[in-house]
Structure 1
Amino acid sequence: MATKENLTPAETVSNATTISQIFDVVARAAPEVRAGLPGRRVAAEGENPSGESQMAADVFADELLCDRLGDLSGVGEYASEEREHPVDVGTGLSVCVDPLDGSSNLKPNNTMGTIVAVYDAPLPATGADVVASAYVLYGATTTMVTARDGTVTEYVIHEDGEYEVCREDVRLPDDPSVYGFGGRVPDWVDSFTAYVREVESDPSMKLRYGGSMIGDVNQVLTYGGVFGYPTLADAPEGKLRVQFEGYPVAHIVETAGGRSSDGSQSLMDVEKEDLHARTPVYVGNEAFVAGVEEALADD
């Protein structure tokens, strides 16, 4: 039997097949990640490459996903927020993972997720190289949202790792009703603060912010609205990473008919040379994201 190391070109799988396999691995690993959380609600030794303290659950999820995704014959590189450099696992597509987005929510038992971006290029890649994206949400139920070939699909993942479609051709609703913005309010720049006050003045809009970026984005995808982690007075590039959060979230939201921005352009057009580079992130319905850009243009 051919091993991953000695496959001939004729034996390598197509990108489409590899993407399906990546989604399958992520979905089937989700119950294991979730089951491993209760005993890993403590800090691990050390920090990730962005200088943030790691939880034991971060490390556990990262190692599990690296092993499973790295075994796929069509995956060439694996990278995560928990590792300084990509891992060379063979030949094929590159996969970037935020193994446990919102792991600080472990202690209060709030929403967390896993974010996946698939690139047809070596890392660090660009938005133009994204061929698929997904996230798993560990909420009241475990769900997975995927974007590929111009379509967004939502799945319910069962305890045994089996999963089934619950929503096809997901689109942002035309009657948006939620908003959520990260960062300390005193650190917001004045133009962004003014924009948020305008959003808050609309009685039809409800604040939804839970400390897990992907949980907040899922609210927007479900109800319509806007999420942002903005540029801050002391952090012009914000907090979120382009490769691990910016590109995949933008890909999903834009595929679902929404819009993304770093404040002046689509997140998919942002180019950064560092694997762990950050960017401001604004995603949601067209009118809201256009409003952000208009407000920030006054700076």
Structure 2
Amino acid sequence: MSARDQLLVVIDPVARRTDGESVRIAKDVLSAGAAVRLCLPDGPEDFAKALARRGARRLVVIGDDRALLRAVGVLHRERDLAGCVLSVVPVGASQTLARGLGVPVGAVAAARAVLEGAERRLDLLVDDSDGVVLGDLRIPPVGASAVGPRDSAVGASVRVPAGGFADGHAWLRTCQSFVRTLAARPSRPAAADGRSPARLRIEADGVMLVDLDQPVAGVHVSAGHGGFAQVEVRPTSVGAAAAPLRVRARTVTVSGADFRYRADAVVAGPVRTRTWTVHPKAWRLTLPR
């Protein structure tokens, strides 16, 4: 029997408590198609030990987005992420991240994808404290109310093609001119949800996009763009969010007064500075063919 047909199935304790029926269905489907070894960790420490002892077996996590994040985080910190093909069967209240990555909805469909799917290499955002981001990073951490919908911005976006940072930074003059124009205007005292706009210094590949004198309504960073992160900064202007600045970069640094951020399903901080770096094709996830 090949290693592909031997699975270590780690069932997150939250999934066992919240939706035991979906867990049972997933186990039945997986057991019908492969040799399954079950592991029922009681907490994060047992979870990490189970991953370390998987041997040649393929790793399958049954759990919610936090269980998926925990698995990738443990493998990254153990410097074993590149050597592991990870599979996930989403079970639990939080499944947005897994679905966004392409994992099927429902225990049966997700379990069949584990057995019949193919691995896909995905980019990873890693911060300077060794934290990982699989999908989206947002500042402030509570999303749409502070940042606003994508189609609500006024004016045109500043778009920079991949590799723009190597072309003499010609694009930067456009961004800086745009931001100086906004900074010359009195900014609104509060964001749409009543909070004061954040004052942050935001740098992409070492080049400053926004400084502390220009309040911002929100920052959004996402991985998975061919080795680059997509960075969107929404400055504030009089009475409304201004047109967003959008660039692609390999590193993003945010600094300023203490701020919190939402990395996938987890709110972190407060911190005064944090740098995120794209690791291209750093991890492997089993997805439907």
* TM-score, L = length of structure 2: 0.30
Q: When you count helix as a share of all residues, which structure comes out higher?
A: 1
Give 1 or 2 for the bigger CA radius of gyration.
2
* TM-score, L = length of structure 1: 0.30
Q: When you count strand as a share of all residues, which structure comes out higher?
A: 2
Higher relative contact order (CA 8 A, sep 6+): 2
